[in-house]
């Protein structure tokens, strides 16, 4: 009797874990951009500029922010269709346009700030840092 209960319990656990994994895979397929992206903007003849994108995707709509060492820009509009990203960040000082193509977990594309500056950029999905265990008391 004990073996039967153990077998049933193990079966239920396997099914539950399978559902969790499948659910996570489906979520990432529906919103592949949602998350943090570590990126770098390339400027001709100047140093590269690292930046971070925090993206939230709902259908074809993309919202979030872009952060650099100079501050943070809110995404005023964004779309993601056929693996192509288009983001607009409009501020009183300037209008930014970021476009890129997603291949796997990496982006490559073009950015511009009004007609003043432009260049290429690339980015990859940020990998979470592992806890060092020092938080435990």
Largest alpha-carbon pair distance within the chain?
77
* pLDDT number for residue 30: 60
Does residue 28 register a pLDDT over 50?
no
Structural Rg of the chain based on CA atoms: 21
Percent of the chain with pLDDT over 90: 58
Distance CA 81, CA 57 (A): 11
Enter the tokens of residue 57. Answer: 């995707």
pLDDT at 126 over 80: yes
């Amino acid at each position: 009797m004990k073996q039967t209960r153990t077998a049933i319990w193990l079966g239920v656990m396997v099914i539950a874990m399978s559902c969790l994994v499948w659910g996570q895979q489906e979520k990432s397929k529906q919103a592949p951009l949602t998350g943090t992206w570590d990126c770098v903007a390339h400027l001709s003849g100047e140093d590269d500029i690292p930046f971070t994108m925090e993206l939230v995707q709902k259908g074809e709509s993309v919202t979030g922010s872009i952060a650099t060492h100079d501050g943070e820009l809110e995404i005023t509009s964004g779309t993601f269709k056929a693996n192509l990203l288009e983001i607009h960040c409009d501020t009183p000082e300037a209008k930014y346009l970021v476009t890129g193509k997603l291949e796997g977990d990496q982006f490559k594309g073009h950015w511009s700030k009004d007609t003043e500056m432009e260049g290429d950029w690339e980015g990859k999905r940020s990998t979470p840092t592992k806890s060092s265990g020092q938080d435990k008391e």
